[in-house]
Amino acid sequence: MSIRGIEMHYYAVCKRKLWLFNRGIGFEQQHDRVEEGKVLHEHAYGRLDKEINIDDMAVMDAVDGEYVREVKISSKMEHADRLQLLYYLYLLKERGVEKKGLLSYPKEKKTTEIVLGLDENMEVLKALDGVQKILEGNLPRYRKLKVCAKCAYRDFCESGEGGDDV
């Protein structure tokens, strides 16, 4: 099963969103925060190679020498952002390319270096296993989280559609 970078991000944020997105149930295209993110990506890295695609599993924002760069609107989901970038580094390492990552939040003037060490590699493998289990199962039950307030899936989830405990 090939797992996309955005699915790793969703795994860290919301298992239900991951499951819905994987099945092509998407509400992002009409969502304001997605548009804001697209504009940010277009302007973030002027001269760098942008949107590097790895086997349709990962679309990295930019590559700059020894770094893979990922840009995000806000650090409120930094754990998920970090996991997504670690996954990109993992995919590159699997292909014989060793890079570090830079996770940037331009609005906050914050950048963090991310390195795929042994512990981080294990974290990625554990998350990949978790993603696969979610995707092989039934729709996870809705659990109200802080991130729900700005989520494109909010109306769907709050409509009462069932789900299983995960």
Say if residue 49's pLDDT is above 60. no
pLDDT by residue (tens digit) across 131-147? 999 999 999 999 998 98
Both tokens of 158, joined, read: 């709050």
pLDDT by residue (tens digit) across 71-129? 898 999 999 999 999 999 999 999 999 999 999 998 999 999 999 999 999 999 999 99
Angle at 130 between CA 126 and CA 133, to 5 degrees: 140
| End-to-end Cα distance, the chain | 20
Residue 156 pLDDT? 87
Pairing of strands 100-105, 67-71: parallel
Please state the pTM of the whole predicted model: 0.84
Token look-up 């060793």 returns 98
Kindly list the domain boundaries of the chain, sorted by start residue.
5-158
Say if residue 58's pLDDT is above 60. yes
Amino acid identity for residue 35 in this structure: E
Residue 22 pLDDT? 94
Residue 34 pLDDT? 53
Cβ neighbour number for residue 109 with a 10 Å cutoff: 7
pLDDT by residue (tens digit) across 15-46? 999 999 999 987 755 545 555 555 555 555 55
